[in-house]
Structure 1
């Protein structure tokens, strides 16, 4: 179990971020565990031929058998929306002794042995870091950045917008309680209880002590997790809401519009949008999920917002829409 002790000032400096580098690294889990990440498999199939041209031996060694990754691969974001190149630059500057220690710690905690490629390079951390940075940059550029990341980013930003709403409505206790079942909050202590014996064995008690706790949604977590070593500033990654929607729009299975009285009242396209917007989403994401143009979606969103059925909020460069309380009542949902 990990325990994070937060004072009042620490709560005031708890913040959210998403990380393109973290998602790049953790996406390799979905290749190994297809059954655990079914929503990602159509994406993976789509870029398979490009992936096979990469340094796959190294990329696939970065995920230890039960899913651990060396901590240096997922540095804590320095801002809420870092760009990939900035994060990769920080990774490339990781001190050699940290790289070596993190690789060994990840596999030791996992109970596995180093794969041949890591065994050859672990005693030359500078060469290992350079090769990792090159492999991740190629993977990002050829497979993830063109189409997958814009979609993934909209899901992550929608999650963060939702968490902000929960914090304003329910306070810190309600926020932490809603992040993941592994997390619990009591008397200034946030506990992360992972059921895996290897994780419990490396548990720690952490004083946030003015360093700020960052909360990071991910599409590739089966539960909340944190750094193995706890050397750097504290962070917790947790499964993002809406991650299952990553599979929508790729097979056409979700493009139909609901029928019934609501569709008769406001039209099938608007009824479909209202059904989708139980969780926040951007115009671009909705267009992708429905297989239509952003312009077509935008016109319907404007009408639904003007009718008081949707709320809109800005997060960074994105405008996110979500059903209002009136929209919830009309759609038969819950607030």
Structure 2
């Protein structure tokens, strides 16, 4: 078990961040073992087809050897995000600057108790030269893999992660740290202790206790994570990479095109009073607004243009069925109390 002791100041400095490099590295688990997450099988098939189209131009043997038999990964490949949404190249630059001793240590620790696989044997060679060359080769491969596998779908991944962060922030506002962590993952437990609190991460490979000491807590949602991932050791600032809500919506099959042909959908749902009252497009949107969502996210889930969604959202808002509020660069819509009553048949 890993335990973080957080004071009032630490909770005040709790923040969220995205990590394009983290998602890239974590996705290697799914590429190596499809059983890790069946949700991502459509993405995996697509990526493998693109890699095959390169005709051996990507060294997948070396890339997949980074994932140990226990599905652990070298810690230096997932540096702590310094800003809310760092650029992939900036995160990769941090990895390129990792000292050879740490690269060697993290590779050995990730694969323990097993020996390093053949593609990583350079990490055990004497001197810094071989491990430095291995580090630089891995960085080049990760950059090419990012361009092939993650960058084309990064906008969708980002929207899902941002929706998760909006939900978590709302949980924190409603019920404090206990509610924030309540449904984040079964591994997590929050324990209050007066002016302090303890975040316990159960079922971890290693274990330690660490005091945040005013450094706060960094939370990083990930669509490719299947469990929580705190730092390997207690010397790192407290952070937690955790599975994001909504990952199942990323690769779902195209839904009924109700926004393109509302008449057909309304005919098929003639018995639905909400559809009869609002029309199929607006009825579906009203059901989707049980949690705050941005126009772009709704459009992605419905496979239509944001302008098509925006027109219906404006009508729902004007009718008092939806509220809207600005969150950073986005405008989030949610059902109003009247909308909740109408959607539930009240």
The residue aligned with 1:190 is: 199
| TM-score relative to the length of structure 2 | 0.86
For 1:16-165, what aligned pairs fall within 5 Å after superposition? 16-52=16-52, 53=54, 54-108=58-112, 111-123=113-125, 124-146=130-152, 148-165=153-170
Q: Structure 1 residues 192 and 45 mapped into 2: Cα distance closer, same or farther (>3 Å)?
A: same
Structure 1 spans left out of the alignment, 5+ residues = none
Q: Report how far residue 122 of structure 1 moved.
A: 4.8
| TM-score relative to the length of structure 1 | 0.89
Q: Report how far residue 301 of structure 1 moved.
A: 1.6
The residue aligned with 1:252 is: 254
The residue aligned with 1:228 is: 232
Q: Residues 223-281 of structure 1: CA distance to partner in whole angstroms, max 9, x if unpaired?
A: 22212233321111111111111122xx3246566831111111101112222333443
Q: Structure 1 residues 87 and 273 mapped into 2: Cα distance closer, same or farther (>3 Å)?
A: same
The residue aligned with 1:294 is: 306
- Counterpart among 266, 275, 278 of residue 266 in structure 1: 278
SS in 1 for 2:182: helix
Tell me, yes or no, if the aligned pair for 2:4 and 2:212 is still in contact at 8 Å.
Answer: yes
Residue range with higher mean Cα deviation, 238-247 or 320-329: 320-329
Tell me, yes or no, if the aligned pair for 1:24 and 1:140 is still in contact at 8 Å.
Answer: yes
Q: Structure 1 residues 42 and 107 mapped into 2: Cα distance closer, same or farther (>3 Å)?
A: same
Q: For residues 255 and 124 of structure 2, what CA distance do their matches in structure 1 show?
A: 46
- Counterpart among 177, 183, 188 of residue 182 in structure 2: 177
Higher Rg of the two aligned structures: 2
Aligned length: 324
Structure 2 spans left out of the alignment, 5+ residues = 259-264
After superposition, the CA RMSD in angstroms is 2.2
Q: Residues 2-45 of structure 1: CA distance to partner in whole angstroms, max 9, x if unpaired?
A: 01011111111111112111111111122233244233222222
Q: For residues 254 and 62 of structure 1, what CA distance do their matches in structure 2 show?
A: 40
1:14 equivalent to 2:23? Answer no
Q: Structure 1 residues 89 and 313 mapped into 2: Cα distance closer, same or farther (>3 Å)?
A: farther
Q: For residues 95 and 8 of structure 1, what CA distance do their matches in structure 2 show?
A: 35
